[in-house]
Amino acid sequence: MTCIIGYSKNDTIYMGGDSAAVNSYHEIDIRQDRKVFIKRDMIFGFSASYRVGQILKYDFKIPDHNHNLTNDEYLHSVLIPKMIGTLKEKGKTIKNGEISDLSILIGYKGFLYEIQEDFQISQLQIPFCACGAGANFAKGAFYVLENNKKLSAKNKILKSLETSSYFSAAVSPPFYVLKLKSK
């Protein structure tokens, strides 16, 4: 289910998501609770488990970033262990260091990261990333739209989500886009 797409431009992260929730019987619900949110100095977008997203939004306390650590060191050695601990504490099962319903985009200090099932952190060489069932459609659309000077970053994300929903039954409007300027 889902499509989340993020874009990093000029120390600002734009992130958008759809509203679909698809269950194993291929039924679709359009949810009111959003898959993209800002918490402190991070922007999050989640796909797969709404429960994981709710834990991150309401229970996860973002640890302080010791300025002696690079962003990568902080994310790998401080943020991820805290995230794993919170997910376990709230009842999520983590087997062999993995959680089967985890796919998250995070924007932090102007950079875009993807956290995958095994808690690895991926940062692409391109300034955009997507996750969820419609990710490849959204990435393809964004690739074509990226250099379009007539469209704002928000509208490029919206067009990418629209494209994803056209081709994937697991992606559906309404779409929401947030932006977070790095401090």
Q: Give the orientation angle of helix 50-58 with respect to helix 80-89, to 10 degrees.
A: 110
**Rounded distance between C-alpha atoms, residue 39 and residue 75, angstroms:** 15
Question: What is 4-181's CATH superfamily?
Answer: Aminohydrolase, N-terminal nucleophile (Ntn) domain (3.60.20.10)
Enter the pTM of the model: 0.93
Residue pLDDT, tens place only, 140-172: 999 999 999 999 999 999 999 999 999 998 999
- Segment 33-54 shows an average pLDDT of 93
